[in-house]
């Protein structure tokens, strides 16, 4: 029998890339605040935009984690709920909403890089999950993959 993919998938490696890039952005901002901090961005605007991103990202992430854990325990492919918006909503919430929220809230340009680095690592590693899901669920996953975006939670046209 085929070995099952870990319930955490590529998540731990992706999170590691986020932590490293966030730590670097923090260090650069701390060492050179006058160069990094975008003081022309009003704090109120950053707070509102960052708050909205977190308001979307945190619930999406929590719902996706709970859904994927339940589906993993039942050995089922989940395609409803937040998985109807994007194939990888756990990663999508992190890349599209939560990391950009940190960038906006810090008002520091080095924080633009963690979402980009994390997305690059995601694209590099996600093939493992996709190949596993293709083998495990066959045509059902192929159909689902054709209909739903990878991480951006908008309808696919």
How do residues 63-120 score in pLDDT, each as one tens digit? 999 999 999 999 999 999 999 999 999 999 999 999 999 999 999 999 999 999 999 9
pLDDT tens-digit readout, 42-70: 999 999 999 999 999 999 999 999 999 99
pTM: 0.91
User: Taking the CA of residue 48 as centre, how many other CA atoms within 13 Å lie in the half-sphere pointing to its CB?
Assistant: 5
**Kindly report the CA angle at 59 between 147 and 139, in degrees rounded to 5?**
25
Q: Are 58 and 98 in contact (CB under 8 A)?
A: yes
Q: Domain ranges in the chain?
A: 11-147
Q: Which DSSP state fits 6?
A: P
Q: Are 71 and 77 in contact (CB under 8 A)?
A: yes
């Amino acid at each position: 029998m085929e070995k099952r993919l870990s319930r955490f998938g590529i998540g731990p490696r992706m999170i590691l890339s986020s932590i490293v890039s966030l730590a670097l952005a923090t260090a650069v901002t701390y060492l050179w605040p006058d160069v990094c901090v975008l003081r022309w961005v009003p704090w109120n605007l950053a707070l509102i935009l960052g708050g909205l991103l977190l308001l979307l990202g945190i619930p999406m992430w929590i719902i996706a984690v709970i859904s994927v854990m339940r589906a993993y325990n039942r050995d089922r492919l989940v395609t409803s709920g937040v998985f109807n918006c994007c194939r990888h909503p756990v990663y999508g919430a992190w890349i599209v909403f939560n990391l950009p929220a940190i960038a906006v809230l810090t008002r520091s340009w080095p924080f633009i890089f963690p979402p980009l680095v994390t997305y690059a690592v995601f694209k590099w590693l996600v093939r493992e999950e996709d190949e596993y899901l293709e083998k495990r669920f066959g045509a059902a996953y192929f159909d689902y993959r054709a209909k739903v975006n990878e991480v951006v939670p908008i309808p696919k046209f």
